[in-house]
Amino acid sequence: MPDIKTVNGPPGNTCPIYLNDMKKINKNWHLAHVMPKNASLEQRIAWHLEHQENCGCRPIPKLLLAAMEKRKAAVGTAAG
Ligand SMILES: [Zn+2]
């Protein structure tokens, strides 16, 4: 029977630094791209778009994906 280890993360703490023992983290990228504590939605979207290109430690939150879809709809069809 395989052992299932529970991952303990600080609840409510989204600071990327504590993720440094997770797989696929691009620590250098995180050090160079620290999310501002009071980041606006635009900033967070931009951060996550860059993040997913450079690091695979966590996916884009559904809330942001939904906001991005709304933005796309507002801008219209992207030409390329
Ligand atoms: Zn990451």
- The rounded Å distance from CA 1 to ligand 1 centre is 32
39 or 73, which is more confident: 39
Average pLDDT on 34-60 reads: 94
Spatial CA neighbour of 42 closest among 21, 64, 59, 12: 64
Q: Ligand 1 (ion): which residues have CB within 5 A?
A: 55, 57
What is the per-residue pLDDT across 1-44, written as a single tens digit (0 to 9) for each? 666 665 555 555 555 555 445 458 999 999 999 999 999 999 99
Q: Tell me the pTM.
A: 0.61
Q: Is the pLDDT of residue 63 over 60?
A: yes
Stated as kind and residue range, the H or E segment containing 75 is helix 62-75
Half-sphere exposure of 33 (CA within 13 A, CB side): 18
What pLDDT shows up at residue 73? 85
Measured in angstroms, how far is the CA atom of residue 53 from the centroid of ligand 1? 10
- Listed in sequence order, the residues at least 6 apart from 44 whose beta carbon sits closer than 8 Å to its beta carbon are 35, 64
